[in-house]
A and B are shown apart, each in its own frame.
Chain A
């Protein structure tokens, strides 16, 4: 048993080192310590899951007033492991990635190391805060760590505050994070007030006593609060702004590790502390997840910015995770402990897989960004020849996220499909029909994701370079490639060994009330089994079949004497002589058919300008076509919300004067009011 202390001290040491050590050394040591801390966290998490004993960490008794308690149980350990899975490669990657990332203009040299050191310190704090959120054992500790996590990630997004894009993204992020924090705090305070104590243990023991109305309110508050962190539609607005603005290893961490913490919170509050609820809770979660999955992938498809594309795809994947958790809550509400276990396991399995492939893809996009200096897909192309290893890793990630067998994305989506099919056995006829819609949604999201990632791999890596920068791209440093290869291997292993993952998940979910994890999840051998054993697949055998068949094909053709000389020529082009990259299909054109099919949802604006020759209308000089898609739904939603809020804010300005004395007077007045309230209530 390692306990939490080594991990915490390593992270703290990392932060301290970043500030204390001079020059570039601070940054490098801090990143190395972040990796070491993440590794320790991973080890702790695995030992907690393996032994079934929680790791406890109490603050020294000399600071009792803080009242923070930490206890890492199996559920928290799963998410700690997930953080470790992304954080270790990300820390390795960060070393070369953040080197000389100084702005080319202005004052090079001086500014860069300082911001690099600061980022190193914040990275450690961010990882520490995430780890503490999942090991918090009382409300105060949870909220404290949660806020620290939001602040640290805010600082990482904003960076040195020099880019307008980052600052604007940070503003959105801070706003949404705090709104979410308020909702979560409200949910927790309602529970704690009812239980008469803020320890999770106390709340849990009273979990059945609060009335249904209060339970519903707490659940909905928690759903909104945690949903905003997980990027669930319509609370996802910060996500496509914040992810691209952050450095790529931080994007990987935010997407792979931080978004699932929203899922953790929902499970902790909804299932662990409240002990589950009526089926409609699950229905709401399922519906939100389905909408997020579709909306995320549809916007990912039309995106031209590689990192924004990945950010939208995170919305899709978290939507899929929510669908699994939601159907789990439905089963739980119906008292089907065995089905609930498989459904929740499917959701968590997908969260784990998402951490692996989205971490990989963000690191890959960072490598491309580092090599070409752009995130715009239309300026890339042909990178597979210039960056072969990055390309191979990115291809693995793209295939995994498109749920192609035998990689990991397929395993979890298969299980989720099976869970929905099992949902047809629920007594209500309409539930069964809704299961059909869920299956359709999941499959449509999967198909669109495949189209999206054909684009996300094909446009930047294949064909001819579309810009000079892409032409001059070089493969990135060895440590960055190592991190990507490690995550690519994780994608393959998580897909090929589903029984190992499931036996872990059986332990993780074992402690949940009303979830029969042991009986439903564990299967010997390397098979993945549908609920109630209705169907099974064996991914390793499937992979073996594929490899054997393809090898047999290659050998068979050789033996049959099919050699065929290979002659290299220009691409055929209807008789024109030179091929340039301008003749290739663009990222936007690739998505055009689907844009037209879903035009009702995108509501694109079109703007066509044709410049005619002054002499005759029959000669066209130039054609400019501009089409833009905006996320009209949220813009309208937030606009109306903002319009509602502005008068209030304006009236709030009355009390602002800038005078220090007046502010002090406010504090005194507030103090007096609270004292009086405390006296009377």
Chain B
């Protein structure tokens, strides 16, 4: 009985915690940079404020523009259904695997890019073009990182990958495992538009990527897209932490196990967020045309991860 509650619980957790995580990273970065920073609850307030506002929509926009926030948030929520945040394997384990997760996120990006083109604004088009460039170049890295994990577990199924790591703790120190996660981390930075690929705080037209596509959005639409962005970030961090270090995930879901799982997830995600805040304080944004070099590094990492895991096998 409890097992069927796991997935609604995951979705609810993602919806509720994601803005807080973003607020936390912002606060940490502010403190590291010597600013006071806004409180952790600030993103929630922003969402509430946006939901209460009117929509200002371009005359040129079509239904794509109105549908996109729902598609983007919808795909993110389905990802929250599939990814083992609290338990593994999940009841919907057979619906989709890690590859499906990657392509669902691409579906959201696809629509977001179309919505960027829709109002006919020069910035939106530019953002769409850049976003698709990065998404296209991140794709092979992501696939190879998935391959590296799959070679170890013999499957791309998320439940099996988690189970395999749980059964063989030494493997977490194997080079294949470490490099696959380094590659995944770089992909996360590129996909979530974090520094050094994209600056999430920028509103300078010529440097932005993700923000440029959202430029025409306002009110509830913008709130949905912002929320989806927060959730994507949360899910990526949760996915990385639970695949790299799955201890705490409930194998047999019961109330106690789930409570432990929630706690463990929170600790892992917060630790990763702290690390990310440090990193983002250290580095400067890369020029757009150095981003492919970064992704090439990550591709190489993933390739090495695959090859080393063969030989150690």
**Residue positions of A touching B, CB distance < 8 A:** 381-382, 384-385, 395, 399, 402-405, 410, 414, 417-418, 420-421, 424, 429, 432-433, 435-437, 439-444, 446-448, 450-451, 454-455, 457-459, 462-464, 527, 530, 534-538, 541-542, 545-546, 549-550, 553-554, 557, 560, 562, 564-574, 579, 581, 583-585, 589-594, 596-597
**For residue B160, which residues in chain A have a CB less than 8 angstroms away from its CB?**
534-535
Asked whether, in the complex, the Cβ of B135 is within 8 Å of the Cβ of A592, the reply is no
Ordered by A's residue number, 13 sampled pairs between the chains whose C-beta atoms are within 8 Å are A405-B104, A414-B99, A432-B306, A433-B307, A443-B140, A444-B140, A541-B92, A564-B54, A564-B55, A564-B220, A572-B216, A573-B122, A593-B133
Chain A interface: which of B32-40, B142-150, B275-283? Answer: B142-150
**Residue positions of B touching A, CB distance < 8 A:** 51-60, 62-64, 70-71, 73-75, 77-78, 81, 92, 94-97, 99-100, 103-104, 106-107, 109-110, 113-114, 117-122, 124-126, 128-130, 132-133, 135-140, 142-144, 147, 150-151, 154-157, 160, 205, 215-216, 219-220, 224, 288-289, 292, 299, 303, 306-307, 310-311
**For residue B113, which residues in chain A have a CB less than 8 angstroms away from its CB?**
454, 458
Asked whether, in the complex, the Cβ of B156 is within 8 Å of the Cβ of A421, the reply is yes
**Within the assembled complex, what's the spacing in Å between the Cα atoms of A402 and B288?**
24
Give min CB distance, B297 to chain A, whole Å. 14
Name the CB-closest residue of B to A540: B95
**For residue B224, which residues in chain A have a CB less than 8 angstroms away from its CB?**
553
Of A402, A421, A462, A534, the residue contacting B147 (CB under 8 A) is: A421
**Within the assembled complex, what's the spacing in Å between the Cα atoms of A501 and B103?**
21
Of A395, A404, A441, A534, the residue contacting B106 (CB under 8 A) is: A404
Asked whether, in the complex, the Cβ of B92 is within 8 Å of the Cβ of A579, the reply is no
Name the CB-closest residue of A to B103: A405
**For residue B106, which residues in chain A have a CB less than 8 angstroms away from its CB?**
402-404, 447, 450
**For residue B139, which residues in chain A have a CB less than 8 angstroms away from its CB?**
443-444, 446-447, 450
**Within the assembled complex, what's the spacing in Å between the Cα atoms of A455 and B103?**
18
Asked whether, in the complex, the Cβ of B121 is within 8 Å of the Cβ of A572, the reply is yes
User: Is chain A's interface secondary structure helix, strand, loop, or mixed overall?
Assistant: helix
**For residue B54, which residues in chain A have a CB less than 8 angstroms away from its CB?**
564-567
**Within the assembled complex, what's the spacing in Å between the Cα atoms of A382 and B59?**
12
**For residue A384, which residues in chain B have a CB less than 8 angstroms away from its CB?**
62-64
Name the CB-closest residue of B to A585: B125
**Within the assembled complex, what's the spacing in Å between the Cα atoms of A539 and B266?**
31
Asked whether, in the complex, the Cβ of B215 is within 8 Å of the Cβ of A572, the reply is yes
**Within the assembled complex, what's the spacing in Å between the Cα atoms of A541 and B224?**
24
Name the CB-closest residue of B to A407: B107
Asked whether, in the complex, the Cβ of B122 is within 8 Å of the Cβ of A584, the reply is yes
**For residue A462, which residues in chain B have a CB less than 8 angstroms away from its CB?**
62, 64, 114, 117-118, 120
Asked whether, in the complex, the Cβ of B144 is within 8 Å of the Cβ of A464, the reply is no
Asked whether, in the complex, the Cβ of A546 is within 8 Å of the Cβ of B220, the reply is no
**For residue B216, which residues in chain A have a CB less than 8 angstroms away from its CB?**
571-572
Asked whether, in the complex, the Cβ of B77 is within 8 Å of the Cβ of A537, the reply is no
Question: Given A448-B136, A571-B121, do A579 and B60 touch, yes or no (CB 8 Å)?
Answer: yes
**Within the assembled complex, what's the spacing in Å between the Cα atoms of A383 and B70?**
23
Of B110, B129, B299, the residue contacting A593 (CB under 8 A) is: B129
Give min CB distance, A189 to chain B, whole Å. 43
**Within the assembled complex, what's the spacing in Å between the Cα atoms of A454 and B113?**
7
**For residue B63, which residues in chain A have a CB less than 8 angstroms away from its CB?**
384
Asked whether, in the complex, the Cβ of B151 is within 8 Å of the Cβ of A402, the reply is no
**For residue B299, which residues in chain A have a CB less than 8 angstroms away from its CB?**
440
**Within the assembled complex, what's the spacing in Å between the Cα atoms of A536 and B220?**
37
Of B55, B78, B144, B205, the residue contacting A545 (CB under 8 A) is: B78
Of A436, A457, A554, A585, the residue contacting B144 (CB under 8 A) is: A436
**Within the assembled complex, what's the spacing in Å between the Cα atoms of A546 and B132?**
22
**For residue A542, which residues in chain B have a CB less than 8 angstroms away from its CB?**
78, 95-96, 100
Question: Given A447-B138, A536-B94, do A569 and B103 touch, yes or no (CB 8 Å)?
Answer: no
Question: Given A443-B139, A447-B139, A553-B73, do A571 and B59 touch, yes or no (CB 8 Å)?
Answer: yes
**Within the assembled complex, what's the spacing in Å between the Cα atoms of A24 and B97?**
55
**Within the assembled complex, what's the spacing in Å between the Cα atoms of A442 and B144?**
10
Give min CB distance, A191 to chain B, whole Å. 39
**For residue B138, which residues in chain A have a CB less than 8 angstroms away from its CB?**
447
Of A537, A546, A557, A565, the residue contacting B75 (CB under 8 A) is: A546
Question: Given A404-B103, A454-B117, do A439 and B147 touch, yes or no (CB 8 Å)?
Answer: yes
Name the CB-closest residue of B to A598: B292
Closest 7 CB pairs of A and B: A585-B125, A447-B139, A463-B120, A443-B143, A447-B136, A451-B132, A458-B117
Give min CB distance, A143 to chain B, whole Å. 41
Of B60, B73, B99, the residue contacting A382 (CB under 8 A) is: B60
**Within the assembled complex, what's the spacing in Å between the Cα atoms of A571 and B121?**
6
Asked whether, in the complex, the Cβ of A403 is within 8 Å of the Cβ of B103, the reply is yes
**For residue A584, which residues in chain B have a CB less than 8 angstroms away from its CB?**
120-122, 125
**Other 11 A-B pairs with CB < 8 A, given A444-B139, A571-B60:** A403-B103, A414-B99, A424-B306, A439-B147, A451-B136, A454-B132, A549-B77, A553-B224, A567-B54, A571-B59, A590-B129
**For residue A596, which residues in chain B have a CB less than 8 angstroms away from its CB?**
289
**For residue A550, which residues in chain B have a CB less than 8 angstroms away from its CB?**
70-71, 74
Asked whether, in the complex, the Cβ of B144 is within 8 Å of the Cβ of A439, the reply is yes
Asked whether, in the complex, the Cβ of A545 is within 8 Å of the Cβ of B51, the reply is no
**Within the assembled complex, what's the spacing in Å between the Cα atoms of A436 and B141?**
11
Question: Given A564-B53, A572-B216, do A530 and B155 touch, yes or no (CB 8 Å)?
Answer: yes
Asked whether, in the complex, the Cβ of A405 is within 8 Å of the Cβ of B100, the reply is yes
Asked whether, in the complex, the Cβ of A570 is within 8 Å of the Cβ of B144, the reply is no
Asked whether, in the complex, the Cβ of A439 is within 8 Å of the Cβ of B143, the reply is yes
Of B75, B205, B306, the residue contacting A433 (CB under 8 A) is: B306
Of A418, A432, A457, A585, the residue contacting B114 (CB under 8 A) is: A457
**For residue A429, which residues in chain B have a CB less than 8 angstroms away from its CB?**
310-311
**For residue A399, which residues in chain B have a CB less than 8 angstroms away from its CB?**
107, 110
Of B121, B126, B157, B311, the residue contacting A534 (CB under 8 A) is: B157
Question: Given A414-B100, A440-B140, A535-B97, do A569 and B57 touch, yes or no (CB 8 Å)?
Answer: yes
Give min CB distance, A436 to chain B, whole Å. 4
Question: Given A567-B54, A573-B122, do A424 and B289 touch, yes or no (CB 8 Å)?
Answer: no
Pick the most buried of A417, A420, A424, A462: most chain B CB atoms within 10 A of its CB.
Answer: A462
**Within the assembled complex, what's the spacing in Å between the Cα atoms of A560 and B160?**
39
**For residue B107, which residues in chain A have a CB less than 8 angstroms away from its CB?**
399, 404-405
**For residue A454, which residues in chain B have a CB less than 8 angstroms away from its CB?**
110, 113-114, 117, 128, 132
**For residue A530, which residues in chain B have a CB less than 8 angstroms away from its CB?**
155-156
Name the CB-closest residue of A to B76: A549
**Within the assembled complex, what's the spacing in Å between the Cα atoms of A579 and B61?**
13
**For residue B53, which residues in chain A have a CB less than 8 angstroms away from its CB?**
564
Give min CB distance, B93 to chain A, whole Å. 9
**For residue A410, which residues in chain B have a CB less than 8 angstroms away from its CB?**
103
Give min CB distance, B136 to chain A, whole Å. 3
Name the CB-closest residue of B to A532: B154
**For residue A594, which residues in chain B have a CB less than 8 angstroms away from its CB?**
133, 136
Asked whether, in the complex, the Cβ of A535 is within 8 Å of the Cβ of B103, the reply is no
**For residue A444, which residues in chain B have a CB less than 8 angstroms away from its CB?**
136-137, 139-140
**For residue B57, which residues in chain A have a CB less than 8 angstroms away from its CB?**
566-569
Give min CB distance, A161 to chain B, whole Å. 39
**Within the assembled complex, what's the spacing in Å between the Cα atoms of A580 and B216?**
16
**For residue B99, which residues in chain A have a CB less than 8 angstroms away from its CB?**
414, 417-418, 537
Name the CB-closest residue of A to B77: A549
Asked whether, in the complex, the Cβ of B220 is within 8 Å of the Cβ of A585, the reply is no
Name the CB-closest residue of B to A403: B103
Pick the most buried of A436, A437, A569, A592: most chain B CB atoms within 10 A of its CB.
Answer: A436
**Within the assembled complex, what's the spacing in Å between the Cα atoms of A581 and B81?**
41
**Within the assembled complex, what's the spacing in Å between the Cα atoms of A574 and B121?**
10
**For residue B205, which residues in chain A have a CB less than 8 angstroms away from its CB?**
574
Give min CB distance, B120 to chain A, whole Å. 3
Of B95, B144, B151, the residue contacting A537 (CB under 8 A) is: B95
**Within the assembled complex, what's the spacing in Å between the Cα atoms of A568 and B119?**
11
